[in-house]
Amino acid sequence: QVQLVESGGGSVQAGGSLTLSCAAGRYTYKRNCMGWFRQRPGKDREGVAVLWIGGATTTYADSVRGRFIITRDKAKDLVYLQMNGLKPEDTAMYYCAASLNPYGCSLVLREYNYWGQGTQVTVS
């Protein structure tokens, strides 16, 4: 069972930056993709950024491309989401997720097998 724990959320003014972290606990299955998703108030959960662990290939939602960066620290087994130029519409609960899909990574929620509890980001 993969355990994912997010941290780094908080409140920030528009134009500011935050970096979220995701720690994966003890696991027994191979994760191929790690991703960040968010659920904005009154909206469905959506993909934000994902990373293919094997080759570090990344995919971003159009709404965040050029502002957000997903990275991984292999030694620490941490995945980060650096968020720059934050906008009020980025306000959401942000979730870390892991996929076992061996064929590639996408922003599609149903491809992700494990989820964290989320961390709140509020932009005013």
- pLDDT one-digit tens code per residue, 102-115: 888 999 999 999 99
**Which distant-in-sequence residues (6+ apart) come within 8 Å of 62 by Cβ?**
none
Higher pLDDT residue, 123 or 27? Answer: 123
CA distances from 59 to 1, 11, 45 (A): 25, 26, 17
Q: What is the DSSP string of 57-88?
A: -EEE-TTTTTTEEEEEETTTTEEEEEE-S--G
* pLDDT tens-digit map of 39-81: 999 999 999 999 998 877 999 999 999 999 999 998 888 999 9
Q: CA-CA-CA-CA torsion for 49, 51, 56, 61, nearest 10 degrees?
A: -30
User: Within 10 Å of residue 20's Cβ, how many Cβ atoms?
Assistant: 24
Q: What is the pLDDT of residue 24?
A: 82
Whole-number Å distance between alpha carbons of 8 and 51: 19
* Pairing outcome for strands 58-60 and 45-52: antiparallel
Q: Residue 79 is which amino acid?
A: V
**Three-state DSSP state, 11:** strand
Whether 28 shows a pLDDT value over 60: the answer reads no
